[in-house]
């Protein structure tokens, strides 16, 4: 069982250009100049990060006290950055919209965090983690970034253990590991099914230490609604105090966005209800390019949708695929039966059948598509929703027989309890039912190797940037990336920018500041005075249906064109007909959501244009027109081996305008591009 039977790109006809086909997205965008990552060092891949760290200029401790940093977002990415930059002696201001940094979406992470520690002596190494991640991302990520991520992964575990994060341990006391999809080693560190929460507490404590020390000032329940750009550089934000409604100006020498992902553009997702794109989208409108926005991760193991009443979906951690076996009945006629009455020979363990090397641990994009396919064939299980059964079994009976119920409880009890509470079924006795759902976005603001966006002085970390996962993220790698960015990467790269300081102070009456503030006030006033007939949620739900239908698990040229038209019509209606109750000077969730949905309505269109442009299938982006004979994703490296970096062009107030596409070529020197195979 090896993951090496890949066929190389050279001479593989499946990678040749599709029969000459025009640009599907022609007319929806303007081609722009190529973009390159000027900060990425050259030389042997293993030396690049060391080289960059050495070459990045230093700021002496006395000068750090004179430099102000704003960090928007205090999840794992922002919280770890705030703790580290505060400890280094900079003046840090943090912002989050929750009542405590503890409540960031990061707390929801269940399964684990990867690191190439090789504690199991099973052949792991930084190079293997690098290889798995580039391959898992379907060769659409940057090799320098991914190698750095693999390299610093080991430091993260040491840092977190030093903070007291209670990672699971083996009988002998050593840290335990389990496996996640797309790999054949065990490198995932975990704290039962609460890894994100425990890491969050570690980063939060480290940040609060700096709050007590006076280096970090935190603003909770404050929402960034605009970026301030002065003379082409990011110099601050406009935020709204969500309790009093006060619009505030905050100025700094540099701004970091760690504002998380935008999966909620689909309305239904596993993300926290508040996760949104506003901070990133406001920056995009001010000049920060948005990269690969169409790359969305649909996670295979979520509790199936039960009807139109839902506003939230629940993840069942990928870690469950270590012990759970996925199957559907072989015969449609069995789909209504109690699964326990279906004999072994009538079950189709389809992942084990199609992908014998990786079995139930194939990457998420592959497992999700396979689940969709068997349900489309009419072999789904569970109640029918809109005439189709959209569910497959995740069965622990063999594992319970092998490990005993106590063994399963020890690993997964909180996940099993959660499943039982939500579905009313006991997963120890009957198999869980799962189905794919939107979970994570690989797209995000474009950053260079230093994590700096196309706006000088604006850095982006964590899920908000696009940097490391290509077209598909491997499980347990988001926490790794967020903490790598915050604890180990940004603190080194940001100093190179700050070494140009001290910077001239920006007065609050600077025209760019006044303009940013005015635009926020106007937007708030517009929403409250429109007095239309439809609720914000109804627009969000409708957008989500369009996105899921046409820009979800499978995309096609016709569907994407249709989606763009539908979104444009919906957006137009939203601006004329939305109803936002309440006042500006108080807690007003309807007003908060209106701003977020307005930005989702623009992002949704860009995602569809990006998906339309990319007439290939790669990772989570599956174009119906580009598949192999057996239905696998078919890349076209000769045409699409690039990062799509989109520049916003438009009326600064409302209209989207026509975006400009800048392509960054993906060049691999340390790894060979191959057709992905997990068979």
Ligand X SMILES: Cc1cc2nc3c(=O)[nH]c(=O)nc-3n(C[C@H](O)[C@H](O)[C@H](O)COP(=O)(O)OP(=O)(O)OC[C@H]3O[C@@H](n4cnc5c(N)ncnc54)[C@H](O)[C@@H]3O)c2cc1C
Active site residues: 364
Secondary structure (3-state) at 8: strand
Q: Shortest Cβ distance from residue 415 to ligand X (Å)?
A: 11
CA distance 267 to 256: 26
Query: Cβ of 343: how many Cβ atoms within 10 Å?
Result: 8
Distances (CA, A) of 370 to 126, 134, 216, 301, 321: 30, 22, 47, 12, 15
Does 181 sit near ligand X (CB under 6 A)? no
Report the chain's terminal Cα–Cα distance, integer Å: 9
Nearer to ligand X, 138 or 592 (CB): 592
Helices (H), 118-178: 126-136, 143-163
Smallest separation (angstroms) from ligand X to the CB of 67: 21
Per rule CB under 6 A, is residue 258 in the interface with ligand X? yes
* Token digits of residue 66: 């004179």
Number of H helices, E strands in the chain: 17, 24
Q: How far, in Å, are 111, 303, 306, 401, 486 from residue 387 at the CA level? A: 33, 18, 12, 35, 46
**259 binding ligand X? (CB under 6 A):** yes
Cβ neighbours for 424, distance < 8 A, ≥ 6 positions apart: none
Of 84-92, 119-127, 204-212, 456-464, the window that binds ligand X (rule: CB under 6 A) is 456-464
| Residue 206 phi, psi (nearest 5) | -65, -35
Alpha helix ranges (H) inside 329-396: 350-354, 364-374
541-554-196 Cα angle (round to 5): 65
Min dist. Cβ of residue 630 to ligand X (A) = 30
The C-alpha atoms of residue 352 and residue 676 are separated, in whole angstroms, by 17
CA angle 460, 69, 99 (to 5 degrees): 80
Q: For ligand X, which is the closer residue by CB, 45 or 76? A: 76
196 in contact with ligand X (CB under 6 A): yes
Q: Rule CB under 6 A: is residue 271 a binding residue for ligand X?
A: yes
**Minimum separation from the CB atom of position 81 to ligand X (A):** 9
Least distance from ligand X to the Cβ atom of residue 167, Å: 13
The distance of closest approach from Cβ of residue 103 to ligand X in the complex, given in angstroms and rounded to an integer, is 8
- DSSP annotation of 418: H
**Under the criterion CB under 6 A, does residue 236 sit at the interface with ligand X?**
no
* Residue of 35, 45, 49, 78 that binds ligand X (CB under 6 A): 78
CB 288 within 8 A of CB 103: no
Binding segment toward ligand X, per CB under 6 A, in 103-111, 360-368, 399-407, 637-645:
103-111
**Please, what is the minimum distance in Å from the beta carbon of residue 110 to ligand X?**
5
Residue 109 sits in the site that holds ligand X (CB under 6 A): yes
* 472, 138 contact by CB (below 8 A): yes
Which of 76, 434, 442, 666 lies at the binding interface for ligand X (CB under 6 A)? Answer: 76
132 counts as binding ligand X under rule CB under 6 A: no
| Residue 407 phi, psi dihedral angles, 5° rounding | -65, -40
CA proximity to 414, closest of 578, 191, 206: 191
Q: Single out the residue of 141, 145, 477, 675 in contact with ligand X (rule: CB under 6 A).
A: 477
Is residue 458 within the footprint of ligand X (CB under 6 A)? Answer: no
d(C-alpha 604, C-alpha 470), whole Å = 19
Which 8-state DSSP code applies to residue 176?
P
Judged by CB under 6 A, which stretch of 90-98, 159-167, 518-526, 609-617 contacts ligand X?
90-98
**Residue choice 137, 182, 236, 260 for contact with ligand X (CB under 6 A):** 260
Of 9-17, 100-108, 227-235, 332-340: span binding ligand X (CB under 6 A): 100-108
Element (H, E) at 394: strand 392-395
Question: By CB under 6 A, which span of 442-450, 458-466, 647-655, 665-673 interacts with ligand X?
Answer: 458-466
Q: Which stretch binds ligand X (CB under 6 A): 89-97, 137-145, 303-311, 543-551?
A: 89-97
Among 49, 73, 265, 323, contact with ligand X (rule: CB under 6 A): 73
| CB of 89 closer than 8 Å to CB of 61 | yes
8 Å CB contact between 166 and 198: yes
- Regarding 627 and contact with ligand X (CB under 6 A), the answer is no
**Rule CB under 6 A: is residue 453 a binding residue for ligand X?**
no
By CB under 6 A, tell whether 678 contacts ligand X. Answer: no
Of the pair 14, 306, the CB lying nearest ligand X is at: 306
Helix (H, G, I), strand (E, B) or coil at 302: strand
CB of 269 to ligand X, least distance (A): 7
For the window 409-448, what string marks contact with ligand X as x by the rule CB under 6 A? Answer: ------------------------------xx--------
Contact code string over 26-65 relative to ligand X, x by CB under 6 A: ----------------------------------------
Q: Is 363 in the site for ligand X (CB under 6 A)?
A: no
Find the shortest distance in angstroms from Cβ 482 to ligand X. Answer: 4
- Residue 474 is given by DSSP the state P
Evaluate whether 94 touches 207 at the Cβ level (below 8 Å): yes
Mark 306-345 with x for binding to ligand X (rule: CB under 6 A) and - for no binding.
---------x------------------------------
The mark string for 500-529 relative to ligand X (x by CB under 6 A, - otherwise) is ------------------------------
Residue 597 engages ligand X in binding (rule: CB under 6 A): no
By CB under 6 A, is residue 77 in contact with ligand X? yes
Which range, of 68-76, 148-156, 492-500, 600-608, touches ligand X by CB under 6 A?
68-76
Q: Dihedral sign, CA of 671, 459, 102, 538? A: negative
Structure tokens at 319: 């870690």
Give the one residue of 445, 478, 603, 643 binding ligand X; rule: CB under 6 A: 478
Measured CA to CA, the distance from residue 272 to residue 103 in angstroms comes to 10
Is 110 a residue that touches ligand X (CB under 6 A)? yes
> Closest distance between ligand X and the C-beta of residue 403, in Å?
21
Q: How far apart are CA 490 and CA 495, in angstroms?
A: 8
Distance separating alpha carbons of residues 3 and 678, to the nearest angstrom: 6
State the minimum distance, in angstroms, from the CB of residue 223 to ligand X: 4
The Cα-based distances of 468 to 154, 399, 633 in angstroms read: 17, 34, 20
Residues near ligand X (CB under 6 A) are 72-78, 95-98, 104-106, 108-113, 195-196, 223-224, 258-261, 270-271, 275, 278-279, 315, 439-440, 462-464, 476-479, 482
């Amino acid at each position: 069982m090896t993951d090496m039977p890949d066929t190389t790109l050279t001479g593989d006809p499946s990678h040749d250009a599709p029969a000459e086909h025009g640009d599907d997205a022609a007319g929806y965008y303007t081609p722009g100049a190529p973009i390159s990552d000027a900060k990425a060092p050259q030389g042997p891949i293993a030396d690049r990060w060391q080289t960059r760290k050495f070459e990045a200029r230093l700021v002496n401790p006395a000068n750090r006290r004179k430099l102000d940093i704003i960090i928007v977002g205090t999840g794992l990415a922002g919280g770890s950055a705030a703790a580290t930059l505060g400890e280094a002696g900079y003046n840090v201001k943090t912002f989050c919209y929750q009542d405590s940094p503890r409540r960031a979406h990061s707390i929801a992470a269940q399964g684990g965090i990867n690191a190439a520690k090789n504690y199991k002596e099973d052949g792991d190494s930084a190079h293997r983690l690098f290889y798995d991640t580039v391959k898992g991302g379907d060769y659409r990520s940057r090799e320098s970034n991914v190698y750095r991520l693999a390299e610093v992964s080991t430091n993260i575990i040491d840092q977190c253990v030093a903070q007291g994060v209670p990672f699971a341990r083996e009988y002998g006391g050593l840290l335990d590991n389990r496996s996640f999809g797309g790999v054949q080693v065990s490198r995932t560190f975990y704290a039962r099914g609460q890894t994100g929460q425990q890491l969050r507490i570690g980063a939060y404590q480290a940040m609060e230490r700096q709050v007590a020390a006076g280096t970090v000032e935190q603003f909770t329940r404050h929402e960034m609604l605009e970026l301030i750009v002065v003379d082409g550089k990011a110099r601050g934000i406009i935020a709204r105090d969500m309790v009093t409604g006060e619009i505030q100006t905050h100025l700094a020498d540099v701004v970091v966005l760690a504002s998380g992902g935008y999966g909620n553009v689909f309305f239904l997702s596993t993300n926290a209800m508040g996760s949104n794109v506003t901070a990133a989208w406001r920056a995009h409108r001010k000049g920060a390019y948005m990269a690969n926005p169409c790359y969305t991760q649909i996670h295979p193991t979520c509790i199936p949708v039960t009807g139109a009443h839902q506003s939230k979906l629940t993840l069942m951690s990928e870690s469950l695929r270590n012990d759970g076996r996925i199957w559907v009945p072989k015969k449609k006629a069995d789909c209504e039966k109690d699964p326990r009455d279906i004999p072994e020979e009538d079950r189709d363990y389809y992942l084990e059948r199609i992908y014998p090397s990786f079995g139930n641990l194939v990457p998420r994009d592959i497992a999700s598509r396979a689940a969709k396919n068997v349900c489309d064939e009419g072999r789904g299980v569970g109640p029918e929703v809109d005439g189709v059964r959209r569910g497959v079994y995740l069965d622990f009976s063999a594992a319970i027989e092998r490990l005993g119920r106590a063994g399963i409880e020890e690993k997964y009890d909180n996940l099993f309890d959660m499943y039982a509470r939500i579905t009313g079924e006991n997963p120890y006795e009957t198999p869980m039912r799962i189905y794919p759902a939107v979970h994570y976005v690989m797209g995000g603001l474009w950053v260079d190797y230093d994590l700096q966006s196309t706006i000088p002085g604006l850095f982006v970390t964590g899920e908000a940037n696009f940097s490391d996962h290509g077209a598909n993220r491997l499980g347990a790698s988001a926490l790794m990336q967020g903490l790598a960015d915050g604890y180990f990467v940004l603190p080194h790269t940001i100093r190179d920018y700050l070494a140009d300081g001290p910077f001239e102070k920006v007065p609050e009456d600077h025209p760019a500041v006044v303009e940013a503030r005015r635009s926020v006030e106007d937007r708030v006033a517009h929403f409250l005075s429109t007095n239309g007939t439809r609720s914000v949620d109804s627009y969000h739900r409708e957008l989500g249906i369009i996105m899921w239908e046409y820009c979800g698990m499978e995309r096609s040229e016709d569907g994407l064109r249709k989606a763009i038209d539908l979104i444009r019509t919906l957006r137009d209606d939203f601006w004329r007909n939305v109803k936002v109750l309440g006042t500006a000077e108080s807690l007003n969730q309807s007003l908060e959501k209106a701003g977020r949905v307005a930005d989702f309505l623009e992002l949704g269109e860009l995602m569809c244009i990006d998906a339309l442009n990319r007439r290939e299938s790669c990772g989570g982006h599956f174009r119906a027109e580009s598949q192999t004979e057996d239905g696998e994703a078919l890349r076209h490296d000769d045409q699409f081996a690039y990062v799509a970096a989109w520049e916003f062009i438009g009326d600064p107030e409302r209209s989207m305008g026509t975006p400009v596409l800048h392509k960054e070529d993906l060049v691999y020197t340390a790894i060979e591009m191959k057709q992905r195979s997990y068979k």
